[in-house]
């Protein structure tokens, strides 16, 4: 039975469980004369929840675990001699999966029977022809062992699917019966429901945390692989970035890191002062009518896709900077430059600074303002000496959010700053950033075996560590200098 | 006949106003919040070195009147003040008057203690700093110490001036706010229910303080506590529904008020 139909069966069972559970509770109450502890719907709900949720969870877990078990069994069947020189077991295993999928297609579309295949009557040459008929093309020579492994893989998957169907529907039925039987008027169905909701919420937050942990781990493992192939000291301290897909490349992160920090710095130099002043104006000077109009208008900036900013940088702003500033001053002749990308990116992150800071400044109690005005302070003195210090933690948070957006930004840099890895102080030169190079290292090649591709993970991890460090630093600053009201 | 007596009464009032030494005078003061009128032609004076208590049920306009005296109503959107308000016989709503300077001369203490989230020292030094009252660090230290002394807080905080003002207890915070107001050497101090968020012991301390401050300042205090008005003030003004009911010596107001509404309010029959 397919996954979709199993889910459908379980859901139908749950719906029936709700209906009959509710009826049973009402009937039991009427018969014994005991008042129901909860509303009748809650009894139905407990039955439905206990029927559907554990069964579906079991199915999800099964779908994760089954391929792992089958692969480990099947990979034992493959002798080392089959693995090509310099290749990996994982490559052979992907062949196995492909052939298994091909066999499924053959069985579905031709008159070849399951028994004939499993008894070994059909040899691989015929199969290859049949597969070509149904549109599955195989690459190269496939050894007999791999063919056998593919057959075993198919069988394992079939058996597993059958076992899963039985187990999931069996569990659903069993819990349906159990939860129906325990219904009686004194049962606290409402509280059961409540606990269930709580468990659901905890589960959801766990998913978010586990995902983060998972991402970090995958990054860490691939990075370790990379450092096995390429010396860490070169990666961190070499000033040359020159990947060659034939091998022998220089993969120094410094030029990329420099580009990233330079572009982000320019962007923040634009966004922080402008954004803060917008926030102060909106929060303390603008009337409510203007504010209700201007704030969403500024937030529109954040909604523009970054590729559009990139186009703007490439077509309008870059040439403008080159023709009117860089060339007359003799500072460069490239239309893609750090300044182009940085300034455009700065405009993009203005709303991150202004909108959040505005909310935070607004959240400073009116009593603080009154206290300051009553002492004869002017509006700007009040903002400078009372409001901003009180709002500082939130403002730092807003700036950090903007900074991490700037550091992680890719499209604007590709189109605005170019792709040349360079260590230079001149802001009119083309440079590039870590994110751009991650993209270019992974484009067109999905085989993660060479240092040239694995370096992407090392770059990603470095970026992650930097933003994490920024966050920790900001937390420290905020704790240290916070002026807490109440 | 009636007109004559009105004119005579007016004359007597003007004469009285000239005799008594008034610090601030409000004449026909009305306040509008947008369409709503909150104060109806109030005539009320604040005497030199006197504590004037403003009493009345909630929403009667006493806080509104108080906030007119240092133009804090300006900070409320849509608020409009008409009539004449003078400080030392000068119109405080005159365009020539700098509101910043006015507020330095007429200080204010709020209902809820609102120290800035800064150190105790910085809280008190805030006013002197923005007005440039101290020429050196030593002078500023002196102002801070003197202000805290006047607010009766010095002995409690002298060893921890660098700690946050928000870490003090409620009563200490309110006295810190008084010290903050005193530090800019105002001539009048306005207090908007300064004890309503404090416990009885802290209230007693603040009341004691008001007594002492009277020697140097004119004080206007809004209060909901009849006992407090009786204890701290020399003059009492009764407001009701945006009107000034009557204003007289506190002793007379509490023993023999001329208006029935005052009598009823003080006896707790309404409000």
Q: How confident is the model at residue A482 (pLDDT cuts 50, 70, 90)?
A: low
Most confident of A140-149, A236-245, B109-118: B109-118
Over range A357-363, report the average pLDDT. Answer: 90
Contacts of residue B114, Cβ cutoff 8 Å, sequence gap at least 6: A365, A367, A368, A370, A371, B177
Task: Kindly state the average pLDDT of the residues A336-351.
Answer: 92
Residue B138, domain CATH:
3.40.50.300
Q: Give the CA count within 13 Å in the CB-facing half-sphere of A370.
A: 18
Beta carbons of B72 and A370 less than 8 angstroms apart: yes
What pLDDT was estimated at residue A485? 60
pLDDT at residue A71, as a whole number = 83
Tell me whether residues B166 and A486 touch, CB distance under 8 A.
Answer: yes
What is the number of domains present in chain B?
1
Mean pLDDT confidence for B203-213? 89
Hey, are the CB atoms on B107 and A368 less than 8 Å from each other?
no
Q: To the nearest whole angstrom, how far is the Cα of A374 from the nearest Cα of chain B?
A: 6
Instruction: Inform me whether the pLDDT recorded for A86 exceeds 60.
Output: no
- B172 has a pLDDT exceeding 70: yes
Mean local confidence (pLDDT), A8-28: 93
User: Which of B100, B112, B117 should one mutate to test binding to chain A, selecting the residue with the greatest count of A CBs within 10 A?
Assistant: B117
CA atoms within 13 A of residue A350's CA, in its CB half-sphere: 21
Per-residue pLDDT, averaged over A235-253, amounts to: 83
Residues of A with CB under 8 A from a CB of B: 287-288, 365, 367-378, 381, 385-386, 389-390, 483-486
Residue A319 has pLDDT above 50, yes or no: yes
Task: Give the model's pLDDT for residue A445.
Answer: 60
Tell me if B62 is assigned to some domain.
yes
Cβ separation A381–B130 shorter than 8 A: yes
Using 50, 70 and 90 to split pLDDT, how confident is the model at A214?
A: very high
The pLDDT score that the predictor gives to residue A377 is 92
A265 vs A107: which has the higher pLDDT: A265
Nearest chain B alpha carbon to A482: B117
Choose the closest CB to B114 out of A367, A377, A385: A367
Side-chain half-sphere CA neighbours of B126 within 13 A: 32
Question: How confident is the model at residue A21, as a pLDDT?
Answer: 92
- B-chain residues near A369 (CB < 8 A): 75
- Mean pLDDT lowest among A63-72, A165-174, A378-387: A63-72
Q: What are phi and psi of B44, to 5 degrees?
A: -150, 135
CB B91 within 8 A of CB B174: no
Region B237-265: mean pLDDT is: 90
The 10s digit of each residue's pLDDT in B177-190 is 999 999 999 999 99
B131/A368 touch (CB, cutoff 8 Å), yes or no: no
pLDDT computed for residue A144 by the predictor: 75
Tell me: the pLDDT tens digits for A175-196? Answer: 999 999 988 888 888 898 889 8
Residue B53 has pLDDT above 50, yes or no: yes
> Taking residues B74-85, what's their average pLDDT?
88
Provide residues of B within 8 Å CB-CB of chain A: 70, 72, 75, 77, 100-104, 107-108, 110, 112, 114-118, 126-127, 130-131, 164, 166, 177, 180-181, 184
Which residue range forms the structural domain that includes residue B185? 49-71+96-266
Nearest to A385 among B75, B108, B126 (CB): B126
The pLDDT score that the predictor gives to residue B116 is: 92
Question: Residue range A403-411: average pLDDT?
Answer: 88
C-beta atoms of A483 and B114 within 8 A: no
Report residue B1's pLDDT band, with 50, 70 and 90 as the boundaries: very low
Beta-carbon contacts of residue A427 (< 8 Å; ≥ 6 apart):
A262, A266, A337, A338, A339, A342
Q: Which residues partner with B192 through β-bridges?
A: B222
- Please report where in the chains the tokens 């807080």 appear, as a residue: B153
The answer to whether residue A141 scores a pLDDT higher than 70 is no
In total, chain A counts a number of residues equal to 486
Confidence of residue A120 (pLDDT cuts 50, 70, 90): low
**Which fold is adopted by the domain A241-481?**
MetI-like fold (1.10.3720)
| C-alpha to C-alpha distances, B210 to A46, B66, B194, B205, B219, nearest whole angstrom | 66, 17, 10, 9, 8
CB contacts < 8 Å between A and B, how many? 75
User: Burial level of A129, CB count in 10 A (0-12/13-18/19+)?
Assistant: exposed
Residue A315 gets which letter from DSSP?
I
Give mean pLDDT, residues A287-309.
89
What residue segments make up the domains of chain A, in order of their start? 3-187, 241-481
CB-based contact A385 B101, cutoff 8 Å: no
Task: Give the SS3 label for residue A221.
Answer: helix
Of A287, A368, A377, the CB nearest to B130: A377
Q: Taking 80 as the threshold, does the pLDDT of residue B4 lie above it? A: no
């Amino acid at each position: 039975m397919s996954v979709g139909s199993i889910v459908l069966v379980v859901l139908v069972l749950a719906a029936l469980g709700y209906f009959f559970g509710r009826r049973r509770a009402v009937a039991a109450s009427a018969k014994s004369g005991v008042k129901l502890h909860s509303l009748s719907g809650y009894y139905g709900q407990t039955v439905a929840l206990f029927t559907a949720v554990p069964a579906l969870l079991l199915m999800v877990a099964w779908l994760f675990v089954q391929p792992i078990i089958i692969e480990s069994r099947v990979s034992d069947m493959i002798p080392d001699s089959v693995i090509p020189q310099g290749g990996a077991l994982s490559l052979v295993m992907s062949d196995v999966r492909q052939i298994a999928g091909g066999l499924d297609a053959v069985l579905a579309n031709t008159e070849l029977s399951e028994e004939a295949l499993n008894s070994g009557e059909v040899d691989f040459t015929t199969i290859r022809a049949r597969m070509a008929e149904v549109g599955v093309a195989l690459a190269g020579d496939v050894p007999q062992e791999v063919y056998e492994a593919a057959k075993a893989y198919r069988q394992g998957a079939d058996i597993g699917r059958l076992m899963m169907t039985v187990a999931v529907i069996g569990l659903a039925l069993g819990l349906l019966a159990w939860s129906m039987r325990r219904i009686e008027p004194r049962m606290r169905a409402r509280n059961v429901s409540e606990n269930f909701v709580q468990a659901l919420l905890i589960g959801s937050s766990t998913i978010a945390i586990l995902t983060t942990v998972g991402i970090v781990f995958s990054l860490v493992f691939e990075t370790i692989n990379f450092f096995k192939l390429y010396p860490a000291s070169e990666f961190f301290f070499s000033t040359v970035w020159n990947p060659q897909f034939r091998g022998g490349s220089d993969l120094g992160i410094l030029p990329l890191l420099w580009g990233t920090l330079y572009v982000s710095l320019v962007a923040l130099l634009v966004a922080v002062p402008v954004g803060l002043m917008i926030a102060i104006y909106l929060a303390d000077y603008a009337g409510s009518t203007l504010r209700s109009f201007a704030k969403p208008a500024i937030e529109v900036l954040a909604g523009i896709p970054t590729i559009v900013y990139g186009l703007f940088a490439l077509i309008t702003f870059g040439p403008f900077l080159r023709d009117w500033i860089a060339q007359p001053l003799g500072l460069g002749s490239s239309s893609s430059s750090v300044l182009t990308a940085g300034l455009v990116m700065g405009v993009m992150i203005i709303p991150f600074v202004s909108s959040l800071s505005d909310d935070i400044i607004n959240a400073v109690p009116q009593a603080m303002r009154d206290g300051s005005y009553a002492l004869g302070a002017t509006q700007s003195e009040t903002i400078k000496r009372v409001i901003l210090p009180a709002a500082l933690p939130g403002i730092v948070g807003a700036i950090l959010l903007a900074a991490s957006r700037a550091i992680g930004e890719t499209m604007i840099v590709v189109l605005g700053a170019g792709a040349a890895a360079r260590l230079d102080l001149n802001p009119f030169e083309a440079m590039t950033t870590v994110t751009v190079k991650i993209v270019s290292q992974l484009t067109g090649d999905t085989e993660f075996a060479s240092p040239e591709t694995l370096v992407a993970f090392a770059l990603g991890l470095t970026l992650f560590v930097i933003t994490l460090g920024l966050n920790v630093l900001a937390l420290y600053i905020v704790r240290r200098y916070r002026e807490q009201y109440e | 006949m009636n007109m004559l007596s009105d004119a005579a009464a007016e004359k007597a009032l003007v004469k009285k106003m000239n005799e008594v030494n008034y610090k601030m005078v409000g004449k026909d003061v009305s306040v509008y919040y947008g369409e709503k009128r909150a104060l109806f032609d109030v005539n009320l004076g604040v005497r030199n070195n006197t504590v004037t208590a403003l009493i009345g049920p909630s929403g009667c306009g006493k806080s509104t009147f108080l906030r007119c005296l240092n133009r804090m109503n300006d900070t409320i959107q849509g608020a409009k003040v008409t009539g004449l308000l003078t400080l030392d016989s000068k119109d405080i709503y005159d365009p020539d008057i700098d509101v910043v300077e006015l507020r330095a001369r007429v200080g204010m203490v709020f209902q809820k203690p609102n120290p800035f989230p800064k150190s105790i020292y910085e809280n008190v030094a805030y006013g002197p700093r923005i007005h440039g009252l101290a020429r050196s660090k030593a002078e500023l230290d002196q102002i801070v110490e003197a202000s805290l002394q006047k607010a009766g807080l010095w002995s409690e905080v002298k060893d921890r001036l660098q700690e946050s003002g928000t870490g003090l207890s409620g009563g200490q915070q309110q006295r810190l706010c008084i010290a903050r107001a005193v530090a800019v050497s105002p001539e009048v101090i306005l207090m908007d229910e300064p004890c309503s968020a404090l416990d009885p012991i802290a209230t007693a301390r603040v009341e004691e303080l008001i007594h002492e401050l009277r020697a140097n300042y004119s004080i206007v205090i809004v209060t909901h506590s009849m006992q407090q008005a009786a204890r701290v003030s020399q003059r009492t003004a009764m407001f009701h529904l945006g009107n000034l009911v009557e204003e007289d010596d506190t002793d007379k107001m509490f023993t023999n008020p001329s208006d029935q509404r005052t009598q009823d309010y003080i006896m707790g029959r309404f409000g």
